[in-house]
Amino acid sequence: MKIKDIVEIAKAELVQLSGFSSPNVVGVNKEEDIWHITVEITEKPSAAVNLDLLGIYDVQIDLLGNLLCYERIRMRKRCEK
């Protein structure tokens, strides 16, 4: 399975399970048989775009494309790094 496919699976699964939309992948890493995809997703939109609240998630996918787990690892405002 190609990285592009793994990334699309991670985004689709996170949107479906979290109910949030507009995911952006900011990192991909493979450790042994598990893909770790770091996804940033808008959890609370704001009238001022740079004040949107973003959740950063680690999504884990196996080599067959199955979601193993996901976890929010931190939150930030869009204007923060």
* Domains recognised in the chain with CATH numbers: 3-77 (3.10.450.630)
Helix then strand then coil, in percent of the chain rounded to 5, is 25, 55, 25
Contacts of 72 (CB under 8 A, 6+ apart): 55, 56, 57
Structure pTM?
0.89
pLDDT digit string (tens) for 29-71? 999 999 999 999 999 888 887 888 999 999 999 999 999 999 9
pLDDT digit string (tens) for 10-30? 999 999 999 998 899 999 999
